[in-house]
Amino acid sequence: MKIKLLGNATLTFLLVMIALLLYFQFLTRPEINENVPLPQDLHPVVQEKRDLLIEQAAGKGIKIIITDGFRGFEEQDRLYEKGRSTEGQIVTHARGGESYHNFGLAIDFALLDRQGKALWDMSYDGNGNAKSDWIEVVAIAKDLGFEWGGDWSHFKDYPHLEMRFGLTINDLKRGKRPPGDSLTASQK
Ligand SMILES: [Zn+2]
């Protein structure tokens, strides 16, 4: 009887510890590692893939415009306030330091119509092949190694494409960088 009680107590203790640990992990978001310089521009590989995306989309008769790329922390914070403390619709769920844009690893695109006007219309079929131009661009982007914000379950960000290099936002905040990134930092 004594042994069984002890066993239960130990088990309960362990379970509580595990629950606390998970809760703590969930709550703690790492601070930005100030010892590692922050990127000031799009990563060279992302720049290269961005150009290929524009080129390969054009090859299918689809013109696109890159509406956003690297974004500093302050700019990201301003964007976060849009639809919250400032006017407009909510466009992001990421504060400064929580978006791949802040580490030079994300771009946003839009379609261009015949008049050269930007379009955010996912049903637009400008090249007349009975397929959504938007989805055609996304398919090219995925082939190039981008992840698409339209695949997210929590907040769909259809113009958004990012390249993670296997790194999470927390990795990036802790100071990890994709290969070749020091090059970007030293250029500035
Ligand atoms: Zn984006």
Say whether both 97 and 23 belong to one domain. Answer: no
Q: Are both 110 and 66 inside the same structural domain?
A: yes
**Residue 8 belongs to what domain range?**
1-30
Amino acid at 138: V
C-alpha 107/C-alpha 46 separation (Å) is: 8
What average pLDDT score do residues 127-148 get? 98
List, as ranges, residues with CB under 5 A of the ion ligand 1. 106, 108, 160
Q: CA 141, CA 125: separation in Å to the nearest integer?
A: 18
CATH code: domain of residue 134: 3.30.1380.10
CA pair distance 98, 76, nearest whole angstrom: 9
24, 90: one domain: no
CA of 7 to the centre of ligand 1 (A): 51
118 and 160 together in one domain:
yes
For ligand 1, the distance from its centroid to the CA atom of residue 25, given in whole angstroms, is 26
Note the pLDDT tens digit of each residue in 24-34.
Answer: 766 667 888 98
CA 100/CA 110 separation, integer angstroms:
18
Judged against a pLDDT cut of 70, whether residue 188 lies above it is answered with no
Instruction: State in Å: Cα 165 to ligand 1 middle.
Output: 16
Residue 179 near residue 140 (C-beta atoms within 8 A): no
Task: Give the model's pLDDT for residue 2.
Answer: 60
Looking at residue 21, its pLDDT comes to 83
Counted domains in the chain: 2
90-117 pLDDT, tens digit per residue, is: 989 999 999 999 999 999 999 999 999 9
What is the Cβ-side half-sphere exposure of residue 126, based on CA atoms within 13 angstroms? 25
Q: If you measure from the C-alpha of residue 69 to the centroid of ligand 1, how many angstroms do you get, rounded to a whole number?
A: 8
* CA of residue 12 to ligand 1 center, whole Å: 44
Are 60 and 89 members of one domain?
A: yes
**Predicted TM-score of the model (pTM):** 0.81
Please compute the mean of the pLDDT values over residues 77-87 and round it to a whole number. Answer: 94
Ligand 1 mean position, distance from CA 100 (Å): 8
**Does 187 have pLDDT greater than 90?**
no
